[in-house]
Copies of this chain bind each other. A is one copy, B any other.
């Protein structure tokens, strides 16, 4: 067993036990929060992957788990699509 904890996606936290990818997004208004939630719902249905979403008026925490299995390419792909909803502003690789 080698260390496989490299982080596949900038901005997301990867946890190995139980396996999950998680990221928190903040918004300026409830309207923007709702827009984001609706868009994530659409992506979830397309991917047939349903993250756990926790949200309040101006934030959304997304947790993609995989029922105890290793985080697969489908989970990473969904995370990347969710990132693309908010543009690149939160991702500034040097």
A binding-site residues for B, Cβ under 8 Å: 30, 34, 37, 41, 45, 50-57
By DSSP majority rule, is chain A's interface helix, strand, loop, or mixed?
A: mixed
State the oligomeric state as a number of copies.
Answer: 2
Contacts of A41 in B (CB 8 A): 34
16 A-B pairs with C-beta separation under 8 A: A30-B45, A30-B50, A34-B41, A37-B37, A50-B56, A50-B57, A51-B56, A52-B54, A52-B55, A52-B56, A53-B53, A53-B54, A53-B55, A53-B56, A54-B54, A54-B55
Q: How far is the CB of A56 from chain B (nearest CB, A)?
A: 5
Residues of B within 8 A of A37 (CB): 37
A22 to chain B, nearest CB (A): 13
